[in-house]
Structure 1
Amino acid sequence: MHLTAEQIIPILDTCLQAEYFFHDTAKPARLLETLDDEDQAFIIDWVRRIASTNIELGFRFANMAPQVLARMDHALIEGWVLQAVGEYDCSGLRPALAALEDIDLFMSQGRERTAGCLFEDQVGVLSHFVQGLSGRGLKLAQARFSYTDSETIFLPGVIAHLSERRKNFQLYKANVAHLWAQTRFGTFWPGLATLIAGYPDPKRALTTFHALEVVRLDARINRELPGLYREMRMLRRAFNEPKPAEEWRNLTEPLTSSDATVWDSVALLPRASGISFLPAPTCYQGRLDPIAVDEILEKRIPREKALFRYSLKELAEEANQEQHETQNAPSFDVRIQPDDSLPEGLCIEITLDDRPVAPPDNVNKLITSIIQDFGEIPDEYLVPTGPGEYNPRDFAERNSDDVWSGSYHEEGAFIYNEWDYRRRHYRKNWCVVRETGVTPIYDDFVPRTLDKYSRLLIGIRKTFEALRDTDHRLKRQSFGDSVDIDAFVEAWSDAHTGRETDDRLFTRIHKEERDIAVMFMVDMSGSTKGWVNEAERESLVLLAEALELLGDRYAIYGFTGMSRKRCDIFRIKEFQEPYGREVKARISGILPGDYTRMGPAIRHLTEKLKESDARTKLLITLSDGRPEDYHRDYEGVYGIEDTRQALLEAHRYGIHAFCITIDEEGADYLPRMYGVANYVVIHEVRKLPQKVAGIYRKLTTR
C-alpha cells in the first residue's frame, strides 16, 4: 500500500522518537512519498532497524535513502547500512556518520560486498566440509591469503573474484579442498624448506614445486572427489585460465598416476625448473609456506611421537591384564594397507607380540597424522614409553593463541559478536569475555552432599555402571583372537565343493567406547543466591561422582557478568583436569554473582567444545531464569534471540544443547531458545540434585 507524507510522518515520529529528539520528520516523509510501494516499505523498515541502534543514524538514513536508491539496489543499500552500523558498534557515532555519508567509497567496493563471500559468514559451512574429509583434523582461520601450515587452513576474509556469491563460495570450497589435499597426500614433510633453500633461485624453485604438486593433487582430488573436481574445473574455466603448454603436460604426466607421491614431484623439480614458462597459478591453489609448516612440525612431531608411544604403553598394559601376563619388553608392529572402503582410506592393524590389538579412535587418528608426515610409522615410534618417561599433560597445555583467533580487547579477554534481532544482523566485537578460576573453598561441602544423598548415589552408580563401555565379539573378521567356528565350517564346506573360500575366519573383541564430551554451563547470577546455588552445587557433585564412574569427558564452567563489557566465565573443571581436591573445592566455591547474559557464555564455551574430538558433544545449562543483564538492552526478546542465535551457532558445529531450569516461566521462552524437546523445568528447587543425573542418563543414551 502506498503511503502519503501525512501517513509516513507519524511512523517516523515513533521510530525516531521525535517527541524527545526534536527531529523534523516532514522532509524525509515528503521524500519517501515519491517512492514506489516496495521502496517505501524497504526504507521505512530500515529506518526502524537503524533507529533501534541510534536515533541520529536512523534520521540521517531517512534523509539520504531516497537519493541513494537511484545509485544502489536493495542488497547494496543493506550492505552500506550494515557497514555504518558496524562502525557505530566499534567506534561510535562520528565514524558511523562518516561511513554513511561516504557513498562513493562504498560504491567502489560494492561488488565485493554484494557478490563476495565473507569468511565469517561461511566458516561454519566450510568447517563442516573440511571435517568430512579424511586425514588429520584441520582448523580454519582468516588470513590475507590462502595457505596451510598443515594444521590450520588459512583463508582470506572475503572472496569476490566472480560475479555471483554462489561461485565465490565454490572458490572458497575449492581453496579448502586443495589445501586439505596438500596435508592429506604428503606435500609437506620435514626438510621441504631445506630442499627449496638449496636451489640457486629458491623462490622459483618453490613456485615450480607448487605447480608440480597442483598437477599431482588435482589428479588425486579427481579420483577421490570427482564431483568436487568438476566444480574446480568449472572455476578454472570461469577465470579463463590458459591450458598448460604441451611441454609441461608431457613432463608432468607421471604425476597423474594413482601411485604418484610427493617424491615424484621432487624428482621432477630439477627438470621442471629449466622450463621457461610455468603454467599460470590456478584460482584455488593459494600459496606454499614451508617455513610455517616447519614451525608446526617442530611442535607436532615430538608431541605425536610421545603420545603414540604412551598409547602403546597403555595398550600393552591393557593387553597384559586381559591375558593375566606380565610383559617386560612388548614388541609392537603396525601394518598399513590401502582400503578405499574405510573413511581414512587405510586399514591400520596394530599387533602386540604378533597378536592383533584394537586401538581406540584417538590412536587411529594419531597414526593417520603420523603417516601424513612420514608416509609410515618410524621404528622408533613403536617403543612404548618407560616408567616416568612421559606425562601426557606436558603436551596438553596450550597457549591461548593456539585456540583463539580474532581481536583481543586486552590480555586475557575474548571478543564476541552479539545478535541484534532488530537489525537482523550481528553487533561486531560487542561483548568482552574474561575467563578466570573460581576461588576454591576447602570445606566439608562435598562430603556432606555425598552423605546427604548416599542412598540416591547408590542408585545413580548402579545405573551408570550399566552404561559403561561394553565389549562385543565381532564375527567373520580377517584377523582376531579366536576362530569363528561357523565361518570355518562354511569355508571348509566351500573348499570341498570347489567354491571360493572366505578368509574372514576369526572373531575379535571390539570395545564400544562412549565418546562423549559434555560441558556444564552453570548459572552464577545473583538470583541463584540461597537454595538455588546450593542445589546447583549438590547437582554438580552427584554428576561428577557418576561421570567419574562412567568415564565421559566433562568440564564445568560458571557464568555471570554485568553489561556487555564484563561477561565473566568461571573455570571450575577443565576436560583434562582430574576430579580431585581442587575441583571439589571450586564446586564448593561457586557463589552467586551478577546477571545472566547467556549469549557470550555460550559462544565462549562452544569454542572450547569445538576443540574436543569427541563424536558427541553436549552443552548442558543449569539455570534459574531467562537471559538478562544490568542494562535493559538485554532484557526480553533481545536476550532470548541472542541466546537462540548463539545456540544455533553451536548446533552448526555439531554441539547439542540442553537446558535444565527451575524457572516456573521457563516454558514461555525456552522452546524458542532451545527447541521444544531440549529443556526441562524442575518445579521444586530441592529436587534438582535428584533429577539431574537421570536427565543426563537419558540425554546420553537416546
Structure 2
Amino acid sequence: MNWLDVMHGLHHPLTAKQLQEILNEYVGLILMAHRQLDDAVKVLANLPRPQQDWVVEWVRVVSRQNMELAYEFIHQVAYALTLMDENGVEEWITAVIETYDKEGLNKALDQLNALGQFAQQYRLNNMGLPLVQIQSVLQHFIIGLDGRALKMEHGDVAFTDTETLFLPASIHRFDDKTLNFLLYKATAAHLWAQTWFGTWQLSLITASEQFPHREKAIRLFHTLERLRLDACIARELSGLHRDMQRLLQLLNEPVIPTGWETIAARLAEPNATVEDSYFILNEIHTWAVPEPVAYQGVLLPEQVERVINLRKVHEKKALQNALAELLHKHPEQPQNTDDGAQLNAQPMIEQQPTLTERTLQNLLTMQGEGAPNIPELQDIIASIKQDYGEIPPDYWLIPAGAGQGEPDFLNPEKKHRDLADTAQQIFSYPEWNYQRQRYHKDWCSLREVDVALKQDNFIQETRCKYKGLLANLRRTFEALRGGNQWQRRQSYGEDIDLEALITAYTDAQAGHEMSQRVFTHLRRVERDIAVMLMIDMSGSTKGWINLAERESLVLLCDVLELLGDRYAIYGFSGATRKRCEIFPIKRFDEPYNTTVQQRISGISAQEYTRMGVAIRHLTHCLSEVDAHIRLLITLSDGRPDDEGENYRGVYGLEDTRQALLEAKKIGIHPFCITIDSQAKTYLPYMYGVVNYAVIDKVEQLPMKVADVYRRLTT
C-alpha cells in the first residue's frame, strides 16, 4: 500500500461496526449491563471522518472521568452537533465534566440532558461580542487618541470616571460581530470625548442640584453633551463619526431628537463648550428626555467627582514636586519685571517659589547636556489642563522642601533584622501608592515561615488518581526536554512528518501548492531555564481550591523533574502590611525529596492576598539564579486583597502591577494562572493580555504551564 492509499483511508468515514468496536474500548463495561450503542453509532457513521475522530477523542476524554457520562455523551453528541458547532459542543461537555467534579454524577447527567437549554444560551452568547476578545485592540485605539492614558474595564453600564472607560462585558445588538465591534468603538470614543472635550470641567453635581428633578436634569445634560461631543468627533475623527451615524441608522435611532435641531446647531459650533450645554439646560429643563442612543451610556457624576478630586490633589503635589526638582537642577535666571526690578530664584525657593509656564516650556524643550529628564511632567501638565482648561495659579506655587525625601525605589533594596524574640528574618519592601505615584519606603514587613510537614499518602493518592493524565504530561514535557529533539515540518530531515504530509496532501487536493516541509529533523537543544511557582495560600483557597493547588503541584513536580530545569515553589499569604508571609515549599537548591512532598501535603489556607510584596520578594530570589530564561508563574484564586489600608480594589491592583513591571525590567517573565471567573476584567491590565490563563479544573493547570514553556522556551 502506498502513501496515497493511506491518505484515502484516513479520510474515509468509519462504518457503524468500526465505531462500535472503537467505542467499546471506552464504555464496554456499561454495555455489559444490557445497554446498546446500535442507534447511536448508526447516526455517527453518517458524520465525516474528521468529525468522527473528534467524537471518539472526546469519548475517550469523558470516559476517563466517568463511563456513564461517556455512554450518555455518545447518544447525544450527534444531536448536539446539529444545534452547535464543535466549539459549542466542547463547552457543553466541559461544563458537564466540571459539574461532575464538583457535584457528582446525578447533577452532571441532569446538565447533560439539558442540551437544548445550553445550546440556546450558547447561540445567544455567540451572537454577541465579548469585550475580552477585542479589549486589546480597543485599548490601542484609545491610546492613540489625545489626553491622559485611560484604562478599560467591563461594567454593568457604559460610563467613565475620567480615568477608566467602563464598557459592557458583551455587546450583541447586531448579529454581525463587525458591527458589534463598531458599537464598542463608538461607545469608547464617546466616553473618551467626555474626558477630552471638557464634559467634566464643571461640577455636574452642583449644577444639577438647582433643578427640582435632578436625575432628569442629568439625563437632559447628557443629551446636550452627546450632541456637542458628536460634533467634536465629527471635526476630529470624521471617519469614526460616519460609522457612528451609520450605527444609528441601522438601529433606527435619530441622530438628533425631534425638536432639538436648533439646539444641535448651537452645540455644533466650533467654539461651543460645556458651559453652553449648562446654559441651554436652564432653558429646557422642563422638556421630555429623549431616548439615549446606542453608544451614549450614562453619566455617574458622584463617581467622576470622587476620582477627579483624588487626582487633583495628587497632580497638584506631583507638579509642585517636579517643579521643585526642576528649579533645584535648573534655577530660573533673574528676569526683568515691568519696573525694572530683578527676581532672584534662590530667595523664591525659600518663600513659596513659582515657575512660569513659559520658562517651564523652555526647560522642557532643552536639548543636549543639562536638559531636564522628567518625562512624566508633560503628562501631568496635560492632565491638569484637561480637568481645568488651564493650570490654576496656585499650582505654580512650590511648598518649601517639596521634592525632598522622595527617593526612587524602582530597584528595591532588601533589608532584614533579627528580632530578639524570634530567629526569623524580617524583610522590608516598598509598596507602590498609585494615588501619589510614589513608593512607600520599607512599607511592608515580610517573613519566611516554614510549612508544617504532613505525613500522609497524599502524593501517592494523587499520582494514582491522575495516572492517565500524568502519563500524557510526561510525554508532553519529555518533548520539551533538552538534548536531541525532533523538529517538525522541516524542508529536509531523517523521517516523514505524517501530520505535515496529510496537510500538504489536503492542500494539493484543494488545488493549492503542496508544501515541501514534510520531514522531521533531529536537532540538539540546550535548556537554561529557572521557574518560580508562586502559590496563593490565602483564606479564600480553603476547600477544593487548596486541594486543586496541591494536586497540581504533585503533577508539576513529577514532570518538571523530567525536564531538568531548576524550579522553586513558594506559597504566600499574610494580614496587613506588617505581617506578610512567604512559605518556602521547595527552594532552588533543594532536591525534590520526601521533605518537599510533605510540605506540599501540608499546604493550608491562611489569611489574605497581598501580592505586591510577595512578587518583590520572589523576584529578588529568582534574580539571584543565573539562567537565560526566568519565569515567575503565579497560581491564585482571585485578585489582590488585604484587610484595612484600602489594599483591596484599585490600590492592590496597581501595586501588584508595579511589582510585575519591576520584575519585567530585570528580565523575569511573569505569568498568572487563576481560577477567578472575573479575572479577565483585571489580569490583562496587570499581566498583559497574553500572560495569564483562567482555569477551573486541576487537570488544566499543568497543561497551561506546558503551554507557557512552549511559548517562552522554544
Q: TM-score range by the shorter chain?
A: 0.5 to 0.7
Among 637, 649, 668, the residue aligned to 1:621: 668
Aligned residue in 1 for 2:529? none
Alpha-carbon spacing, 1:52–1:378, altered in 2? closer, same or farther (3 Å): farther
Aligned residue in 2 for 1:65? 77
Aligned residue in 1 for 2:233? 221
Aligned residue in 2 for 1:160? 172
Aligned residue in 2 for 1:529? 589
Aligned residue in 2 for 1:320? 331
1:60-139 paired onto structure 2 within 5 Å: 60-74=72-86, 76-81=88-93, 83-84=95-96, 96-139=108-151
Alpha-carbon spacing, 1:29–1:218, altered in 2? closer, same or farther (3 Å): same
Aligned residue in 2 for 1:296? 307
Aligned residue in 2 for 1:379? 393
Aligned residue in 2 for 1:281? 292
Question: 1:321, CA displacement in angstroms?
Answer: 11
Asked if the contact 2:538–2:574 (Cα under 8 Å) also holds between the matched residues in 1, the reply is no
| SS of residue in 1 equivalent to 2:259 | helix
1:577-616 paired onto structure 2 within 5 Å: 598=633, 600=635
Task: Indicate whether 1:257 and 2:284 are aligned.
Answer: no
Asked if the contact 2:162–2:195 (Cα under 8 Å) also holds between the matched residues in 1, the reply is yes
Question: 1:280, CA displacement in angstroms?
Answer: 2.8
Question: 1:55, CA displacement in angstroms?
Answer: 5.9
Alpha-carbon spacing, 1:621–1:132, altered in 2? closer, same or farther (3 Å): same
CA distance in structure 2 between the partners assigned to 1:8 and 1:584 by the alignment = 52
Alpha-carbon spacing, 1:384–1:71, altered in 2? closer, same or farther (3 Å): same
Question: 1:249, CA displacement in angstroms?
Answer: 1.9
Among 354, 357, 377, the residue aligned to 1:331: 354
Task: Indicate whether 1:673 and 2:711 are aligned.
Answer: yes
For residue 291 of structure 2, what is the amino acid of its counterpart? Answer: A
Asked if the contact 2:632–2:669 (Cα under 8 Å) also holds between the matched residues in 1, the reply is no
Question: 1:88, CA displacement in angstroms?
Answer: 5.9
| SS of residue in 2 equivalent to 1:142 | strand
CA distance in structure 1 between the partners assigned to 2:348 and 2:172 by the alignment = 62
Q: Deviations over 1:532-571 (max 9, x none)?
A: 9xxxxxxxxxxxxxxxxxxxxxxxxxxx988999899997
1:112-261 paired onto structure 2 within 5 Å: 112-189=124-201, 191-245=203-257, 247-261=259-273
For residue 312 of structure 2, what is the amino acid of its counterpart? Answer: I
Question: 1:226, CA displacement in angstroms?
Answer: 2.6
Which TM-score applies when normalising by structure 1?
A: 0.57
Question: 1:50, CA displacement in angstroms?
Answer: 5.2
Question: 1:382, CA displacement in angstroms?
Answer: 1.0
For residue 668 of structure 2, what is the amino acid of its counterpart? Answer: T
Q: Deviations over 1:378-429 (max 9, x none)?
A: 1111112322798769995369xxxxxxxx99668799999x9xxxxxxxxx
Question: 1:293, CA displacement in angstroms?
Answer: 0.9
CA RMSD of aligned residues (A): 5.6
Question: 1:209, CA displacement in angstroms?
Answer: 0.7
Alpha-carbon spacing, 1:615–1:31, altered in 2? closer, same or farther (3 Å): same
CA distance in structure 2 between the partners assigned to 1:91 and 1:349 by the alignment = 66
Alpha-carbon spacing, 1:314–1:410, altered in 2? closer, same or farther (3 Å): same
For residue 299 of structure 1, what is the amino acid of its counterpart? Answer: L
CA distance in structure 2 between the partners assigned to 1:379 and 1:7 by the alignment = 85
Aligned residue in 2 for 1:427? none
Aligned residue in 2 for 1:33? 45
For residue 300 of structure 2, what is the amino acid of its counterpart? Answer: D
For residue 368 of structure 1, what is the amino acid of its counterpart? Answer: A
For residue 235 of structure 1, what is the amino acid of its counterpart? Answer: L
Aligned residue in 1 for 2:15? 4
CA distance in structure 1 between the partners assigned to 2:378 and 2:600 by the alignment = 42
1:180-579 paired onto structure 2 within 5 Å: 180-189=192-201, 191-245=203-257, 247-276=259-288, 278-320=289-331, 326=346, 328-329=348-349, 330-334=353-357, 349=361, 360-387=374-401, 396-397=432-433, 434=572, 526=586, 528-529=588-589
CA distance in structure 2 between the partners assigned to 1:569 and 1:246 by the alignment = 54
Q: Deviations over 1:67-116 (max 9, x none)?
A: 23344444543454455456567767665544332234334434422221
Which TM-score applies when normalising by structure 2?
A: 0.56
Asked if the contact 1:215–1:256 (Cα under 8 Å) also holds between the matched residues in 2, the reply is yes
CA distance in structure 2 between the partners assigned to 1:230 and 1:565 by the alignment = 58
Asked if the contact 2:538–2:609 (Cα under 8 Å) also holds between the matched residues in 1, the reply is no
Q: Which runs of 5+ in 2 are unaligned?
A: 1-11, 335-343, 408-429, 436-535, 553-569, 593-598, 626-630, 641-652, 674-682, 693-705
Alpha-carbon spacing, 1:103–1:38, altered in 2? closer, same or farther (3 Å): same
CA distance in structure 2 between the partners assigned to 1:321 and 1:413 by the alignment = 58
Alpha-carbon spacing, 1:89–1:350, altered in 2? closer, same or farther (3 Å): farther
Asked if the contact 1:143–1:157 (Cα under 8 Å) also holds between the matched residues in 2, the reply is yes
Question: 1:621, CA displacement in angstroms?
Answer: 3.3
CA distance in structure 1 between the partners assigned to 2:91 and 2:591 by the alignment = 49
Alpha-carbon spacing, 1:649–1:590, altered in 2? closer, same or farther (3 Å): closer
Corresponding residue pairs, total: 495
Alpha-carbon spacing, 1:282–1:610, altered in 2? closer, same or farther (3 Å): farther
Asked if the contact 1:144–1:156 (Cα under 8 Å) also holds between the matched residues in 2, the reply is yes
Q: Deviations over 1:354-396 (max 9, x none)?
A: 9998562212222222122111111111112322798769995
Question: 1:608, CA displacement in angstroms?
Answer: 6.3
CA distance in structure 2 between the partners assigned to 1:46 and 1:367 by the alignment = 59
| SS of residue in 2 equivalent to 1:307 | helix
For residue 211 of structure 1, what is the amino acid of its counterpart? Answer: T
Alpha-carbon spacing, 1:589–1:154, altered in 2? closer, same or farther (3 Å): closer
Question: 1:268, CA displacement in angstroms?
Answer: 1.4
Asked if the contact 2:248–2:255 (Cα under 8 Å) also holds between the matched residues in 1, the reply is no
Asked if the contact 2:612–2:655 (Cα under 8 Å) also holds between the matched residues in 1, the reply is no
CA distance in structure 1 between the partners assigned to 2:623 and 2:664 by the alignment = 26
Asked if the contact 1:4–1:33 (Cα under 8 Å) also holds between the matched residues in 2, the reply is yes
Alpha-carbon spacing, 1:351–1:143, altered in 2? closer, same or farther (3 Å): same
CA distance in structure 1 between the partners assigned to 2:60 and 2:182 by the alignment = 35
CA distance in structure 1 between the partners assigned to 2:43 and 2:293 by the alignment = 50
Indicate the percent of aligned positions where both proteins have the same amino acid. Answer: 26
Question: 1:162, CA displacement in angstroms?
Answer: 0.9
CA distance in structure 1 between the partners assigned to 2:392 and 2:280 by the alignment = 26
Alpha-carbon spacing, 1:141–1:327, altered in 2? closer, same or farther (3 Å): same
CA distance in structure 2 between the partners assigned to 1:41 and 1:654 by the alignment = 32
Question: 1:176, CA displacement in angstroms?
Answer: 1.6
Alpha-carbon spacing, 1:107–1:216, altered in 2? closer, same or farther (3 Å): same
Q: Which runs of 5+ in 1 are unaligned?
A: 337-347, 400-407, 421-431, 441-521, 533-559, 578-582, 630-645, 656-667, 677-702
| SS of residue in 1 equivalent to 2:356 | strand
Asked if the contact 1:171–1:284 (Cα under 8 Å) also holds between the matched residues in 2, the reply is yes
Q: Deviations over 1:336-365 (max 9, x none)?
A: 9xxxxxxxxxxx93769x999856221222
For residue 297 of structure 2, what is the amino acid of its counterpart? Answer: G
| SS of residue in 2 equivalent to 1:2 | coil
Question: 1:216, CA displacement in angstroms?
Answer: 1.5
Q: Deviations over 1:651-677 (max 9, x none)?
A: 64799xxxxxxxxxxxx998832265x
CA distance in structure 2 between the partners assigned to 1:50 and 1:597 by the alignment = 33
